[in-house]
Chain A
Amino acid sequence: DIQMTQSPSSLSASVGDRVTITCRASQGINNYLSWFQQKPGQAPKSLIYAAFSLQRGVPSRFSGGVSGTDFTLTISSLQPEDFATYYCQQYNTYPLTFGGGTKVEIK
């Protein structure tokens, strides 16, 4: 199974900060990686697919990057509505696997 190691597990940041979350895959996943945002009591919402393609309607302050098997989600200028938990997920191979999540909290 492909392990997705996500870091950090939580972070505190202020509105306007630049925030980066990392996911490392245990083996190659051909950039078949999604990022999801989940707010309390809501279903996850897709932000990015194929490592760096933005889903329709997602603000451009969100971006994805890749370097080998390391994937990043960057929020260029954190907004109040961005405080949430973020998950990565690989869909290259079954079983599908998620990162452990990163909770972004207000400093």
Chain B
Amino acid sequence: QVQLVQSGSELKKPGASVKVSCKASGYTFNSYAMNWVRQAPGQGLEWMGWINTKTGKSTYAQGFTGRFVFSLDTSVNTAFLQISSLKTEDTAVYYCARISDASGHWGQGTLVTVSS
């Protein structure tokens, strides 16, 4: 069955960087787009953008340009989200998700806490 397994929680200081991984299994990785979604504490779901798993091309939503980078390692069916120059307001749960199609599969989420 389809599974998206993300890396564990992270505690970072402001200004640092973080890289979240999302390992996919149970389907052909490069046949489906991978999306990233942010959920700040107590808030709703916010789409960050997507990466084309065939070409590696990324598209970022407004508000997620510059410090946010999506990448892939197709040899191990894994997508990555890197956030640089972390700010306290980046504290959130970050999800990878296959939601560009009808499947609606989500990773379990990765909590990134930014605090001095």
Contacts and interface: CB of A to CB of B under 8 A. Distances in A.
Contact of B50 (A43, A45, A94, A98): A94
Interface in A66-101: 87, 89, 91, 94-101
A97 B47 contact: yes
A50 B45 contact: no
Interface of A: 34, 36, 38, 43-46, 49-50, 53, 55, 87, 89, 91, 94-101
Contacts of B35: 96
Nearest to B1: A56
**Which of B61, B62, B108 has the most C-beta atoms of chain A within 10 angstroms of its own C-beta?**
B61
Interface in B1-41: 35
A91 B104 CA distance: 10
Contacts of B99: 34, 89, 91, 96
Interface string B88-116: 00000001010111111111110000000
B66 interface: no
Contacts of B107: 43
A87 B95 CA distance: 15
Given A43-B95, A43-B108, A43-B109, A98 B103 contact: no
Nearest to A1: B62
The 4 A-B residue pairs with the shortest CB-CB distance in the complex, in nearest-first order: A46-B104, A49-B102, A43-B106, A98-B45
A36 B105 CA distance: 10
Given A91-B99, A101-B44, 4 more contacts: A34-B99, A95-B62, A96-B99, A101-B45
Contacts of B59: 94
Given A89-B99, A91-B100, A91-B101, A98 B106 contact: no
